[in-house]
Amino acid sequence: MHDIRMIREAPEAFDAALARRGLSGMSSEILALDQARRGKIQAAEEAKAAQNAASKQVGAAKAKGDEAEFERLRALVSAKKDEVARLNDEAKAEDAKLTDLLMGLPNLPFDDIPEGTDEDDNVELRRWGTPRDMDFSAKEHFEIPAVQSGMDFETAAKLAGSRFVVLRGAVARIHRALAQFMLDTHVDKNGCQETWAPVLVNEAMMYGTGQLPKFGEDSYQTREGMWLIPTSEVTLTNLVNGLTVDEASLPHRYTAHSQCFRSEAGSAGRDTAGMLRQHQFEKVEMVSITHPDQSRDELDRMTKCAEGILEALGLPYRTMVLCTGDLGFGMHRTHDLEVWLPGQGKYREISSCSVAGAFQARRMNARFKPADGGKPEFVHTLNGSGLAVGRTLIAVLENGQQSDGSVTLPDVLAPYLGGKTTVAPDGTLR
């Protein structure tokens, strides 16, 4: 959410930044609501002062035996009390309108974010690795003989519908090994604290990280009003919801492996084959809570952590900075990691690392206490996939496929697979 004081002080700069995201002239509507709210508050304060002054005079009139003045003052007190209540209610209504408006506006892009309308305008920062030269026609993950017995979409559709999968045998074990490898790397090498948290959260937590109110249709809600998390960004970031932490404790770095749930609203017809786009999937998430002065550097550090997973697995990738038209709702800047998928012959997103600045912290009222004893300030928040487990599984299978239908696995997974390094064409680990 945006700082209303900043909008009051620099409405033109605010409008110029939002215009880069396709929104124009928002400050005038915001400031009109803000002025109306502040006017009601001031009028309520003035009415309250008049009520208090009249209340003090009531007793004096009674003592003098001036019944007419006593009745006039008593009526005035009652009228001012009603006026105060009415003005406070009106101020709350204006405040609710203002909050709803601010809650629905996206974060402001950093000045160095490239202009653009969609993913075609994203800019490549760097790339690592060279796609393997295959002397056969590369298959997509679900077509590889070694994979077919362990990736069952038909049974999943019977159980739950489209965009679900049942994993079995070697494929299920590799999926689990990948998540374990990612967690161990982020904890042992990248300094994150492993965390396990609920996948069901209340509405306030979804508001805190910006999934609500704008993107409710993208998530699943239970009949009791709870929400299934689209990613553990929601739970990990909200660990500091409503808290004021000590500056010396920053940064907080968390990682979690969790189930994630997305309705994939608006994705009809996209990636319908295979398990690239699912309603239920797993991610290993990273979240950092930082001092404002450290957040931009933390984004680069987090991006390197995600890149390190891909490099350890030997998967070619490229790192992109998202343009203004593709930037996430709550983010100042986002780095997408796109892994090479031989079966599709293209790079596909496997991780997004983003800095939200104070945008989420203001919604959550998450602050830090400066070491010098100054006034508490909002922390900055960041999140990143480290990585999407299912998509990493796809990349490992496609990049490791062999002409005989087997799959050669990355060496770093061997300790998690009992020393085995290959999936044979019949689907067994060897």
Query: CA of 123: how far to CAs of 113, 169, 172, in Å?
Result: 9, 39, 35
Q: Is 385 annotated as a binding residue?
A: yes
**Two tokens, residue 200:** 């069901």
Q: Is 232 annotated as a binding residue?
A: yes
CB atoms within 10 A of CB 402: 16
Query: Pairing state of beta strands 380-388 and 346-357?
Result: antiparallel
> Would you call the peptide bond into 387 cis, given omega within 30 degrees of 0 as the criterion?
yes
- Alpha-helical segments (H) within 141-244: 145-148, 153-159, 169-188, 203-209, 233-237
Query: Pairing state of beta strands 380-388 and 280-290?
Result: antiparallel
Q: Is 349 annotated as a binding residue?
A: yes
Q: Pick the closest to residue 251 from 239, 262, 242, 261 (CA basis).
A: 239
In 3-state terms the chain splits into helix, strand, coil percentages (rounded to 5) of: 45, 20, 35
Q: Is 352 annotated as a binding residue?
A: yes
Q: Is 55 annotated as a binding residue?
A: no
Query: CA of 204: how far to CAs of 207, 212, 329, in Å?
Result: 5, 9, 17
Task: Report yes or no: 227 and 206 within 8 Å, Cβ to Cβ.
Answer: yes
Q: Is 117 annotated as a binding residue?
A: no
Task: Return the CA Rg of the chain.
Answer: 28
Buried b vs exposed e over 285-299: b needs ≥16 C-beta within 10 Å? bbbbbbeeeebbebb
Task: Report yes or no: 286 and 253 within 8 Å, Cβ to Cβ.
Answer: yes
Q: Is 311 annotated as a binding residue?
A: no
Q: Is 285 annotated as a binding residue?
A: yes
Q: Is 267 annotated as a binding residue?
A: no
Q: Is 365 annotated as a binding residue?
A: no
Q: Pick the closest to residue 54 from 33, 69, 32, 34 (CA basis).
A: 69
Hey, which bits of 296-360 come out as E strands? Answer: 317-321, 333-341, 346-357
Burial of 31 (0-12, 13-18, 19+ CB in 10 A): middle
Q: Is 351 annotated as a binding residue?
A: yes
Q: Pick the closest to residue 104 from 7, 13, 200, 216 (CA basis).
A: 216
- Could you tell me which residues are annotated as the binding site for L-serine? 231-233, 262, 285, 383, 385
- Could you tell me which residues are annotated as the binding site? 231-233, 262-264, 285, 349-352, 383, 385
- Could you tell me which residues are annotated as the binding site for ATP? 262-264, 349-352
